[in-house]
Homo-oligomer: A and B are copies of this chain.
């Protein structure tokens, strides 16, 4: 039996770019290296002004801005252009955490149509693997070839129905659709022999714990070193702080150092 020498957990981001089949994952690695940031912020705010302020404040410190565009109460189509301008100014990618989870035909409409026209601005979206390949075919079917998807292989919420077989099937699907899939959302060091895929891990705070709706949190070191995250998602730990920019800078440094330690 041939020994597998590749281990994404020990490999610098710079060396992993050559393994990327998805154009967005290569672009993302480059941004991470330029900014020395593997921080994604979860911008879970419900007012447009809050979202734009936050994006502009934390912009210099993040590689990804994770949005839930459908929770904004005063959304208007021009918000998108402003958001795109801020993303370009600070060199980060827009990432709509839509968690697509329908049949292909419906996802095709949800991705391209509606007031949000997600495909026109979000370079990355999330999708559940639960409904099968049709969903990825639907996203892939769109014209633009600079789109990426993070597939959910594990969740950080209590009582999830996802088990090992589900997780493995999701990774298999990611490899099958590697030109479209940027990476995997998960909580453990999976697919270590596939350095072209990026592990995104939510549920990170300086203090471990859980909220009252079942969300569980891990510390920066645990997430980067034990859990295998390539990019960590921080939400309330930054958005609820009195100084989000400073807090984001702090997380960025801690996360980057944890990454450097991992590849030592």
Interface, chain A (partner B; CB < 8 A):
44, 46, 68, 70-73, 75, 97, 99, 101-106, 108-110, 113-116, 128-135, 137-138, 155-163, 165-166, 169-170, 211, 213-215
In the assembled complex, which residues on chain B have CB atoms less than 8 Å from the CB atom of A110? 68, 70-71
Extra contacts, 9 of them, besides A46-B109, A75-B115, A101-B130 (Cβ < 8 A), are A70-B110, A71-B110, A103-B157, A108-B213, A128-B128, A130-B161, A133-B158, A137-B213, A137-B214
- A113 CB contacts on chain B under 8 angstroms: 46, 71-73
Contact status B44-A116, CB under 8 Å: no
What's the minimum C-beta distance from A53 to chain B, rounded to whole angstroms? Answer: 18
A104 / chain B contacts, CB cutoff of 8 Å: 157, 213-215
8 closest A-B pairs by CB = A104-B213, A132-B159, A134-B214, A71-B109, A101-B101, A134-B213, A132-B160, A70-B114
Question: B101 touching A214 by the CB < 8 A rule?
Answer: no
With known contacts A114-B70, A137-B214, A130–B155 Cβ distance under 8 A: yes
**Are B106 and A131 in contact (CB-based, < 8 A)?**
no
- Choose among B44, B103, B162 the residue that contacts A215 (Cβ–Cβ < 8 A): B103
